[in-house]
Amino acid sequence: MYKGGRIIAGLLLFACLALMPFLINIGKAAAKPSPQVNTPFIQQLTTQTCVEPAAFMKTEHMQLLNQWRDAALRDGKTVYVNSQGQSFPISLENSCLKCHSNPQQFCNTCHTYAAVKPYCWDCHNQGGTSQ
């Protein structure tokens, strides 16, 4: 091969560079997110359940939040009655964050893992409420 040594060396160099991200991150899988739900408020609850079962909340919370937003903002409906017949005020700050007062350790763990950047906190107050 004409100038074979250089070609093979070049190819090897290219392969190394192209595979660099994989080589560097070998064996460094991101840890599975573990959202923390042990806030003081949740610990005081007798039955520690969210507005809907945890499995539903895990997969559908974004749709539920969209429903809540439209119901409260557009239709003035501010009470949510869940599938068990319990009612909750529709409010990110006064319902969700009352229990999940630790959005950094709760919301952000999964969102960071999944590289999702919701813009809730651009406007909504993360610090909880006075109520």
Partner 1 sequence: MSVTRRRFLKLGLTTLAGVGGAMALDGFWRGSAEASEVLTDQKALKAKHWAMVIDSDRLKSAENVQRMIDACHRTHNVPDFGNSKDEIKWMGTETYEHAFPGQENGYLNEGIKEKLFPVLCNHCENPACVRVCPTQATFKRPDGIVAMDYHRCIGCRFCMAACAFGARSFNFRDPRPFIKQVNPDFPTRTKGVVEKCNFCVERLEKGLPPACVEASNGALIFGDLDDPNSEVRQVLATHYSIRRKPELGTEPSVYYLIGGGEEHA
Q: Is 101 in the site for partner 1 (CB under 8 A)?
A: no
Q: Please give the size of the binding site for partner 1, defined by CB under 8 A.
A: 36
Contact stretch for partner 1 (CB under 8 A) within 1-9, 42-50, 102-110, 121-129: 121-129
Q: Applying CB under 8 A, does 26 fall inside the site for partner 1?
A: no
Contact between 104 and partner 1 per CB under 8 A: no
Residue 36: partners with Cβ closer than 8 Å, 6 or more residues away: 102, 105, 106, 109
Q: Does 117 bind partner 1 (CB under 8 A)?
A: no
CA–CA distance, 1 with 38 (Å, rounded to integer): 67
Going by C-beta distance under 8 Å and a sequence separation of 6 or more, which residues neighbour residue 87? 79, 80, 81
Question: With contact defined as beta carbons under 8 Å apart, do 41 and 101 qualify?
Answer: yes
Interaction with partner 1 in 37-66: which residues (CB under 8 A)?
52, 56, 59-60, 63-64
Helix (H, G, I), strand (E, B) or coil at 59: helix
3-state secondary structure at position 89: strand
71 binds partner 1 (CB under 8 A): yes
Of 35, 89, 101, 113, the residue at the interface with partner 1 (CB under 8 A) is 89
d(CA 38, CA 74): 34
Return residues touching partner 1 (CB under 8 A): 52, 56, 59-60, 63-64, 67-69, 71, 73-83, 87, 89-90, 93-94, 119, 122-125, 127-131
